[in-house]
Structure 1
Amino acid sequence: MHEKPSIEANKALSTPLSNTTSYIDFEGAGDPKHPQNWRLSTKLFNSILVCSGTLIVSLTSAIFAPGIDEASKDFGVGTVVGTLGTTLYVLGFASGPLIWAPASELRGRKWPLTIGMLGGGIFTIASAVAKNIQTLVICRFFAGMFGASQLTVVPGVLADLYSNVTRGAAISLYALTVFVGPFMAPFVGGFIASSYLGWRWTLYIPAIFSLANGLLSVFFLDETYPPCILVAKAAAIREESLNLNIRARHEDVEVSIAGLVEKYFTRPLTLLFTEPIILVVSVYMSFIYGLVYALLEAYPFVFEHVYGMTPAFAGLMFIGLIIGVVLACAFILFGQLAYARKLAENKGIAVPEWRLAPTLLGAPVFTIGLFWFSWTGFTPQIHWAAPAAAGIFIGFGVLCIFLPCFNYIVDAYLPIAASAVAANIILRTPPSSIMSPSPFIITIATSFAMSTTRYTVPVPESTLILETRQQLNDMAMQFPLGTVDDRNGGYYLLDHDTTVLAVASDPLCEELDASMEAAKRYHNAHPEIDEESKSVAP
């Protein structure tokens, strides 16, 4: 696909309708009204508010699971039918981005997030008071669809607030809330469901938190989307000066349903089938994300049925996973310092492949964790602490794989990042909804069930390597000013002033040829080469 880079924090969806109006803009890079120039305390408050919403939504996705048995008995249905309460909530995550992504670019970040939290809380209460299983699962689906606003819009808020140097750290903390929520849910929900409160309070409590977060957002969440900030600024100037010709460009955008469908539905599906990088990375991420929800069933099976624990205490075994995720977040944040140095040395030009370094450790650690869990959790003769400790490795590997892959997709497809992320969400969410109630995990021997996954985890990792040395050498021959340097176990295509344009490693997957991307970067840096080529053309 050949599209001009157009996705920036302060760009609108399309071009203005009129050229006769005087449009306002930010007053230079240091304008205090721009979100990236706000006080640190303001940034942190808004970040904590939206990330807490993400934690609530991810917690709500799985907190109902410990109460499924009791709910199924109350409604007179089988347990597998009861698991639809989790399945459809997660499926709501897949449909929500089709609404919230365009809404956040048309109306800003605040109101999609606020409406999403309030709507999710209302439908979660409706699930709690349901009189039949049909009402419960349908309301859970809509609660998930509203909750998807957090998964879709919060990364945009953090991108508005933080520069490229510090954004990685902010996204790391966001990803932490995405995974800590489902891992907290089993022991929180287990204690609630086994108490006098009963299974319905596994829905009432997250609903209360959702509504509280939504109300706080109504009054205290700041709008961070720069085009909408300029709209408010233009309105204030018009009111003060009575000059109706002063406008913000975002006020005059032309929006069409066809354009929105193309950007957030048609194009993502096209990318999945035409861009091997997006397809392979998304398949890998969907597998990892699906395993997270599969563990929500595997852990209770091991610690309740094998070790005879109560649901509440079996849920405490998820603490190992939480510890692993927190350690992974700390590891990634520490690596962010090296990334910032490389970015500065490369004159601010980001190379997407730099994001993938943590996966080189995360993939084998994740595999070790699955192997450990599968061969220690099948018999009570092995102490329960052994499979519980495996969760530290699994949690560490999950985040070290998921977050770098997510950042890599954004960086590699920055001009069409919204579509690329939508494609990733569309592909990765259904497996998690299928694997969460899977009888495959519950009914067959634990050692076999988890071992079948451990051999498949490392395979996609090799496919993340994008260019081979030969490809880079061929490119260097096409571009006389470019050179290939062999260092640090990899190969680097360098500009004439040592700016890194592309990175390669072992020739493991040549079909994922990204040489055109590197060539585009090179030509963007040297437009004079194109002009010289045209001048000598016959």
Structure 2
Amino acid sequence: MVISCLGYVCFSFAVATAKDLQTIMICRFFAGFIGAAPLVVAPAVMADLFSAKIRGTAISIFAMILFGGPMLAPIIGGFTVKNPDMGWRWTSYLCGIIGCAALVMNTFILEETHHPIILVRKAEMLRRRTGNWGIYAPHEELTLSLKEIVEKNIARPMKLLFTEPIILLISIYNAFIYGMLYMFLTAIPLIFSVNYRFSPGVAELPYISMLIGVFTGGLIIIYFERRYNIAMDNNGGRPLAEERLPPMMIGSVTFVIGIFWLGWTGSYPEHVHWIVPTIGAAFVGNGLILIFLPCMNYIIDCYLYLAASALAGNTFLRSSFGAAFPLFSMQMFVNMKIQWASTLVGCIGVAMIPVPFLFYKYGKKIREKSKFAM
């Protein structure tokens, strides 16, 4: 986390001070490449810190902030670029400044959570206090060759992703939803700047509606945590992975409603008031979080001892979608027209509605056949 955050800060400031386009592109790449650790490590830290009873609530807060960033950033960026005293460079300066705050907190506040490393440090402290050099932690005897590092830290996430049906199908759904988030970072300004002729910055304000939807979805998930805890108590305290899925069932429907609502009402500004598509954006945000978050909790419950590797595979696919979708979203919404592009996306969403229902019914049987699942 510390190394990743430090690299992100350095390359963010490098983008802000770049003299040419090549430098911007190279530094943007390394800011993402080095700075990606929190996307994988943070949920694994939650798995280390919190028991199954409260882990869902903790990850809910984490996910609301995770989605809140991409929704607030275009608003801040729009007004930053619009300000003649600041300009586009300050979008990267602000990222670097926020990264500096995170770096300080990661370095001085966040303590190690990985259990084997904690035991190593305790063993070292006991050796110094007692003078008994026979005290050691099991992790100290662990030596990894380059081959083992590649197999466990690089190959295993990919192996889990493509050989475990639960991770693969949930990750595809999760990645599609995450791609939708970044696609609508393009669509919403297009609807409100082109159709409704809002000025830069103002055209991004409807993201606040989507953010409200995210927070309402987060509250729904926290409410369902009580249901999950009751089911877990009735199961002798053992986690029930499939009980994480009911919020996803709700989200699969609200997400599709929001897409059709936003796309069709936002296409006719001369007949429809701007508040109508703005309300539709709240349903999109609500569906996004209700699908995204249970996916993460479900994967952690299914693969608790391999949570970091399972989430790494999930993050790889999810981030690939998040990077790819904005590359064609502008062309798609312009050439197909907003309403028909939204219809295409909405139909894909409709096709994916059965996913949480099928896993709720057959997930346990699939896990019983897995070598890695709990």
TM-score, normalized by length of structure 2? 0.93
Aligned-partner Cα distance in 2 for 1:250–1:292: 40
Choose the corresponding residue for 2:71, options 168, 180, 183: 183
Determine if the alignment matches structure 1 residue 119 to structure 2 residue 15: no
- Residue 376 of structure 1 corresponds to 265
Aligned-partner Cα distance in 2 for 1:519–1:279: 15
- 1:66-145 aligned at under 5 Å gives the runs 113-145=1-33
Determine if the alignment matches structure 1 residue 456 to structure 2 residue 361: no
Determine if the alignment matches structure 1 residue 154 to structure 2 residue 4: no
Choose the corresponding residue for 1:264, options 149, 153, 165: 153
Change in 2 beyond 3 A, CA 1:414/1:200: same
Determine if the alignment matches structure 1 residue 327 to structure 2 residue 184: no
8 Å CA contact 1:172–1:332 kept in 2: the answer is yes
User: What's the offset of the Cα at 1:465?
Assistant: 4.3
8 Å CA contact 1:298–1:441 kept in 2: the answer is no
Choose the corresponding residue for 1:440, options 322, 331, 338: 331
User: What's the offset of the Cα at 1:270?
Assistant: 3.0
8 Å CA contact 2:39–2:315 kept in 1: the answer is no
- Residue 66 of structure 1 corresponds to none
Per-residue CA deviation, residues 321-370 of structure 1 (Å, 9 max, x unaligned), is 10000000111001101111111111012221111110111111000000
- Give 3-state SS (helix, strand or coil) of 2:321's partner: helix
Determine if the alignment matches structure 1 residue 417 to structure 2 residue 310: no
Change in 2 beyond 3 A, CA 1:292/1:519: closer
Determine if the alignment matches structure 1 residue 306 to structure 2 residue 163: no
8 Å CA contact 1:297–1:437 kept in 2: the answer is no
Choose the corresponding residue for 1:201, options 90, 98, 103: 90
8 Å CA contact 2:47–2:307 kept in 1: the answer is no
Determine if the alignment matches structure 1 residue 430 to structure 2 residue 280: no
Aligned-partner Cα distance in 2 for 1:357–1:431: 25
- Residue 233 of structure 1 corresponds to 122
Partner amino acid, structure 2, of 1:517? R
- Residue 388 of structure 1 corresponds to 278
Change in 2 beyond 3 A, CA 1:160/1:228: same
8 Å CA contact 1:273–1:279 kept in 2: the answer is yes
Determine if the alignment matches structure 1 residue 517 to structure 2 residue 367: yes
Aligned-partner Cα distance in 1 for 2:364–2:47: 26
| Number of matched pairs | 368
Partner amino acid, structure 1, of 2:18? A
Choose the corresponding residue for 1:278, options 167, 170, 176: 167
- Residue 477 of structure 1 corresponds to none
Greater radius of gyration (CA): 1
User: What's the offset of the Cα at 1:415?
Assistant: 4.4
Mean Cα displacement is larger for which, 211-220 or 443-452? 211-220
Structure 2: segments with no counterpart, 5+ residues = none
User: What's the offset of the Cα at 1:459?
Assistant: 1.9
TM-score, normalized by length of structure 1? 0.65
Change in 2 beyond 3 A, CA 1:407/1:419: same
| Structure with more relative contact order (C-alpha pairs < 8 Å, separation 6 or more) | 2
- 1:490-529 aligned at under 5 Å gives the runs 504=361, 515=365, 517-518=367-368
Aligned-partner Cα distance in 1 for 2:238–2:25: 47
User: What's the offset of the Cα at 1:516?
Assistant: 5.6
Change in 2 beyond 3 A, CA 1:115/1:325: same
Q: Percent identical across equivalent pairs?
A: 39
8 Å CA contact 2:40–2:308 kept in 1: the answer is no
User: What's the offset of the Cα at 1:460?
Assistant: 2.3
Partner amino acid, structure 2, of 1:197? M
Change in 2 beyond 3 A, CA 1:117/1:134: same
8 Å CA contact 2:214–2:289 kept in 1: the answer is yes
User: What's the offset of the Cα at 1:390?
Assistant: 0.8
Q: Which has the higher helix share?
A: 2
- Residue 234 of structure 2 corresponds to 345
Aligned-partner Cα distance in 2 for 1:412–1:386: 40
- Give 3-state SS (helix, strand or coil) of 2:35's partner: helix
Partner amino acid, structure 2, of 1:504? K
Partner amino acid, structure 2, of 1:294? M
User: What's the offset of the Cα at 1:442?
Assistant: 4.3
